[in-house]
Structure 1
Amino acid sequence: MQLRLNSGNILNKNVHEVGIIALGSFLENHGSILPIDTDAKIASYISLNVAILTGAKFLGVVLPSTEYDYVKHGIHNKPEEVIEYLKYIINEGKKLGVKKFLIINCHGGNTLISNLLNDLENQYSVRIILKNITFTHAATEELSVGSVIGIADEAENRLKEHDFNKYPEIGMVGLKEAREQNKYIDEEAKFVEKHGVKIDRGLGEKILKKAISECVEIVKELSNDKK
């Protein structure tokens, strides 16, 4: 049987060698407006849209996630556990003809796996690109994106309740250890303290458009890469 690799709205038949993996977090507090699995849902939304626009294979979402030990706003795994899950997806993806993998990550803590990906590439003889798309935690950017994709509870009482004085994870304002250990987290927290948090759908649409566009360009490069 001959597979019809040229059928459908795709970049080219080589795009079938590209697989897209969503990476986020499933158990992480996000104040009163966003769900506990916000990062996983945003990553999946972007990944699926990129797959639809290019014809690349959407291989699903990674279940475990990891985090810096000083950031305490959810339940996470060790970096090695994330890698083990990726091994399964990559191995099964190769059976589908996938040789190049784009991991779209929307959880800051998952950047801890970056140094482990080279070994994974060598072990499976594949190419892996990790694209990090992250936001100040549960603050304006993330709320705005959540609003656009439909996961934000925008009831008036929820909006009033979404305050970093009540929920320390918002902007990580109340996570003292994280702010002490990481100057970037502290800078973002100070910004949230000064400017507050709001929902701006225009901003959310702009962020999503940019993220999807950048990932589409990566898929184009991968599909044209003969290596």
Structure 2
Amino acid sequence: MITQLITVPTDGVELPGDLALPDSARAVVVFAHGSGSSRHSPRNRAVAAELHTAGLGTVLTDLLTRDEDRHDASTARHRFDIPLLARRVVDVVDWLETQPATEDLPVILFGASTGAAAALAAAAARQRRTLTVVSRGGRPDLAADALRDVRAPVLLIVGGRDPEVLRLNQAAARELSGPHSLRVVPGATHLFEEPGALEQVADIVKRWCEDRLDAVREAAPQT
């Protein structure tokens, strides 16, 4: 496992992040955290650790600078600025393409809460690089018109006891023109804090990503 601190240039600033690459990584997962969170989100880190066991690399970055984060804490302005967040996710994807260890790896975008909208908008902007998009308790509806431009398969995961977010995900799914699946974790609330809920999320994500990678390998021309 290779782990390193990284900085990604974007909008005239640099975003700190953590890159982890298992030996012979099959893909790299870019996390887009949700409202009021950061790259230190314990839920995203727990999922990332499980993904490493499946041979998937991970990148967790702060999408806001410290000044922006302080401002957002009192105004909640930036966390709902989907164009800003999406642009920064795109910059992370582009940065990965400049690095020898990740330049050829498929990219999986993983968004939570408002980060899901940013991940979907970034997927629409970087269709060639995006293998799939995963939303955990997300607000895909906030991606608005970008939903229709997403071509990569999309996995939407919602807690069974999160009815409003489930409704919003169902509505967003109807706007997606590409392949997609909506999975409900029984008994889970919005943050998946119930015992075993996050483990179910990680298992669903691993299986989904493995299926997408297998499909790409099977479709590749035989030599």
Give me the TM-score of the superposition, normalised by structure 2: 0.48
Larger Rg: 1
Q: Looking at secondary structure, tell me which structure has more strand per residue.
A: 2
Larger relative contact order (Cα-Cα within 8 Å, sequence gap ≥ 6): 1
Give me the TM-score of the superposition, normalised by structure 1: 0.48
Q: Looking at secondary structure, tell me which structure has more helix per residue.
A: 1
